[in-house]
Structure 1
Amino acid sequence: MALVLILVALIAFIVLSTTRLKLHPFLALLAAALIAGFAYQLPHQDILKTIATGFGGILGNIGIVIVLGTIIGVILERSGAAITMAETVIKLLGERFPTLTMSIIGYLVSIPVFCDSGYVILNSLKNALAARMKVSLVAMSVALATGLYATHTFVPPTPGPIAAAGNLGLESSLGLVIAVGLFVAMVTALAGMLWANRFVGKDIALVDDGTPLPSSEDFADLRAKYGQLPSAMQAFSPIFLPILLICLGSIAAFPSKPLGEGDVFAVLRFCGQPVIALLFGLLLACTLLKGNGKRQALHDRVAEGIVSAAPILLITGAGGAFGAVLSASPLGGFLGSTLSGLGVGLFMPFLVAAALKTAQGSSTVALVTTSAMVAPLMAQLGLDSEMGRVLTVMAIGSGAMTVSHANDSFFWVVTQFSRMPVAVAYRAQTVATLIQGVVGMLTVWLLSLVLL
């Protein structure tokens, strides 16, 4: 029991230090790893070695992937590709299903672009569509936010899911993580959209900050700032080509060897490695760079991507260090004998991630910390198989959605850009993320009944 109390105290320390003391999650996780080493009475000379090995091990496996994915997202964001994606979806669906259209746009854009940035980029488009189709702005805002949020927490190359997959030893199985993640994200995006539909016909007073709401003209001005927008093929290919290559590489590696073991197998296995696949995506993204100074533009975008990726890399590495210390402690054996009889399985990582997300606000921190914490416990939870680990990533992602409220930067992005009163945002956006998290977990549990 003392071993479990130490773990609870460590979780409480991470939450309190990041919320009350405003300590950066990197320092909080690193400190938790040190404290855990002493609390679990690891040999003093081994504590720092274990921390360094855990830190370097996870970044060695997944660090380059995080950086490349972030750089691609920055290029897509700056080039206007997100606007092209949105307009392509509108052309395909028309204007008959406004909330569904916004949800699909968010679902697609947030695969490479952070949900906060995606919302800011698409805000004017969302407002223009709401005005044109005479639909409640609150409904459109929640549909866009929940669509963005779904792929943000489930689908690589978004850094949170990639880091969780890395912590659980799935670096060579990202294709499977992407395939399952796209399905679970689709279900949770649909749940968010259905909740958004409750507000379609409601006349909700918005906050008046003295400026008029953006209109179709404002969106036209925003669109014009990008100049010549990329084509749909140019906009989507840097996302879909890496995903396709990773998935084909995973299929080629199936034990049944469906593509044989010749040259095709060798090429797909090489190109399907996440780093190589994302390098192809980056090459395609470079075609979006405009003007004469393309080399300087590429340098600037890479620099922006590295700056954006740095905090994620540090948090991911610190999470790996924390997980390595827990793995070296006697905690795994004790929890194994305790949890195996309870049958909690996938619900354990979900509840831990939900507690961390609700307490400290960051979905990425919840994904990294929870995955590092449960990695040593996979066998004891009955999830020590490839599909078991994939579904564990999905369960953690579901918890990392539950719930977005005042301590989450995304909550304030949605609230401020949509001009929703905070009370309305809690009813609309916060409840939507609660529904998404619960529906996501139920979907993962149903998948486990079939796939495990």
Structure 2
Amino acid sequence: MTHSLPYLLFLLAAGVAVIVLMTTKLRVPAFFALLAACLLVGTGIQFPLTQTVDVMKTGFGNIMKSLGLIIALGTTLGVLLEYTGSTTVMASALLKLLGNQLAPLAMSITGFVVGLPIFCDSGYIVLSGLNRSMAKRTGISVATMSVSLATGLYAIHCLVPPHPGASAAATAIGVDFGRLILVGVLVALPAMVVGNLWARYAGKGSIEVEDDEMDEATDVDALPSLLKACLPVFVPIILIALKSFMIAGNKTSGWLSLANALGDPSIALLVGVLLAFNCKRKWTKAELHTLLHNSVEKAGGILMIIGMGGAFGAILAATKIGEHFGQSVALGSMGIFFPFLLTSVLKTAQGSSTVAIITASSLVLPLLPALGLDNETGKLLCVLAMGAGSMMISHANDAYFWVIAKFSGLGMKAMLRVYSVASLLMGLTTLAMVYLLSKIL
């Protein structure tokens, strides 16, 4: 059955409101709040119950397929690094180099650089232990440090190849990858800075933190060296980067094939886990059993929430709100604002930046002449505008939102106040930068 755009927007708002009210006021676990929102929206678009459940299963399964192993192994890596004192060693080195006052900026820059080759989800998981350790040592709020790291990763993820959204859009629209990378990095920098500034402002003071996510690291007899502490973090990042930047075409022979295999995020994180065992001289069977068991239990809780977030995104995507928006808006001389608005609606509705920009690119492609963006520069600006739209607004239907929340220990109120608003400001800042470029190029 066809529904109007205002009605679909109302359903979107109602679904988000249910999640916020159930998690903040009623203290219902996020998994069940997301489940209730899925059923509400599914009923609202008059899906049979069985169809709603099938769509939820698909969304849940897609998230498990893409993030399941990564989160399980990333959680294990974080637990091991914290237990062995590796995060303490790295935090001490960073603070000695930069000082406490620059710690949030240091995390933003770290996220920006690390985010060049790897997904923001993977990058946040790998660096979350270091981030929390630095928050404890500096006394700066977890919200400020976590969102500084998250927005640094997010800025580059939405705009620059080899990330799949930007890559697919560039291919569909016909934009040179090299030019997009160069200009995309320049456009992403102000977004990173704005995200950092908002994190420092909104994250001040006492911010809600879930107690079970902020336990102190277990004491150890001897801390590892800086090299041993860094290897489990940076070797996976390097392996993933090699796959992203050095594997060309379909070559599968020699060291290229090996780099391709080791650069898979799951395998790279497994390598990091193995290296983390070298951060402590002697291990007992009891220690290993306890740590690995706790890692699996912790990952299971995280995956349930992230998976249900994927289910909610799938339900919202089934409403086809993006198509309705494209049909309802008069194009005229909107230029870069139309691809931005379309991608923003898709992102806010279904949660995935990658899906939003890929879907928007297919809808925008035939409209380029009408938008006045059918030349080389116009196409570049179009992809960047869609990248800006894919930043906003990250909320409860975004898997990355839950990765940040669960690995930092931030509650729903803090995430919406600090991170979601940061994603909105980043998107608007990026749009402003693209508009300025349209006047210069």
Which residue number in structure 2 is paired with residue 230 of structure 1? 224
SS at match of 1:75: helix
Which residue number in structure 2 is paired with residue 297 of structure 1? 287
Structure 1 CA distance, aligned partners of 2:329 and 2:295? 41
The answer on whether the counterparts of 2:224 and 2:280 sit within 8 Å (CA) in structure 1 is: no
TM-score, scaled to structure 1: 0.61
Amino acid corresponding to residue 429 of structure 2 in structure 1: L
The answer on whether the counterparts of 2:357 and 2:386 sit within 8 Å (CA) in structure 1 is: no
> Is 18-27 or 389-398 further displaced after alignment?
389-398
Query: Which of 306, 318, 339 is the aligned partner of 1:316?
Result: 306
Alignment of 1:128-147 (within 5 A): 141=140, 146-147=144-145
Amino acid corresponding to residue 88 of structure 2 in structure 1: I
Instruction: State the Cα distance separating 1:85 from its structure 2 match.
Output: 1.1
Q: Structure 1 residue runs of 4+, over 6 Å off?
A: 165-170, 179-186, 192-198, 351-354, 387-394, 430-433, 447-450
Which residue number in structure 2 is paired with residue 57 of structure 1? 62
SS at match of 1:229: coil
Amino acid corresponding to residue 18 of structure 1 in structure 2: I
Structure 2 CA distance, aligned partners of 1:447 and 1:197? 25
Percent same amino acid among aligned pairs? 26
Which residue number in structure 1 is paired with residue 79 of structure 2? 74
Query: Which of 153, 156, 164 is the aligned partner of 1:155?
Result: 153
SS at match of 1:345: helix
Structure 2 CA distance, aligned partners of 1:126 and 1:106? 16
Return closer, same or farther for 1:4/1:235 CA change in 2, 3 Å cut-off: farther
Which residue number in structure 1 is paired with residue 106 of structure 2? 104
Return closer, same or farther for 1:124/1:332 CA change in 2, 3 Å cut-off: closer
Amino acid corresponding to residue 16 of structure 1 in structure 2: A
Return closer, same or farther for 1:194/1:378 CA change in 2, 3 Å cut-off: closer
Amino acid corresponding to residue 313 of structure 2 in structure 1: G
Query: Which of 271, 275, 299 is the aligned partner of 1:280?
Result: 271
Query: Which of 257, 260, 266 is the aligned partner of 1:266?
Result: 257
SS at match of 1:20: helix
Return closer, same or farther for 1:409/1:35 CA change in 2, 3 Å cut-off: closer
Return closer, same or farther for 1:446/1:105 CA change in 2, 3 Å cut-off: closer
Structure 1: unaligned runs, 5 residues or longer: 128-140, 157-164, 171-175, 199-203, 208-221, 357-367, 403-407, 415-424
User: What does the per-residue CA deviation read over 1:159-208, in whole Å, with 9 as the maximum and x for residues that have no partner?
Assistant: xxxxxx899999xxxxx9xx99999887566456668999xxxxx9x99x
Are positions 1:243 and 2:237 aligned together?
A: yes
Structure 1 CA distance, aligned partners of 2:423 and 2:313? 27
Alignment of 1:352-431 (within 5 A): 369=351, 371=353, 374=356, 377-379=359-361, 382=364, 399-400=393-394
Are positions 1:442 and 2:425 aligned together?
A: no
The answer on whether the counterparts of 2:346 and 2:356 sit within 8 Å (CA) in structure 1 is: no
Structure 2: unaligned runs, 5 residues or longer: 112-122, 155-162, 169-177, 207-215, 367-378, 397-403
Instruction: State the Cα distance separating 1:60 from its structure 2 match.
Output: 1.7
Which residue number in structure 1 is paired with residue 371 of structure 2? none
Return closer, same or farther for 1:36/1:191 CA change in 2, 3 Å cut-off: closer
Aligned residues: 370
Structure 2 CA distance, aligned partners of 1:154 and 1:63? 23
Which residue number in structure 1 is paired with residue 15 of structure 2? 14
The answer on whether the counterparts of 2:228 and 2:279 sit within 8 Å (CA) in structure 1 is: yes
> Is 180-189 or 27-36 further displaced after alignment?
180-189
> Is 334-343 or 84-93 further displaced after alignment?
334-343
TM-score, scaled to structure 2: 0.62
User: What does the per-residue CA deviation read over 1:234-278, in whole Å, with 9 as the maximum and x for residues that have no partner?
Assistant: 2222221112111211224444x7xx5532221122111111111
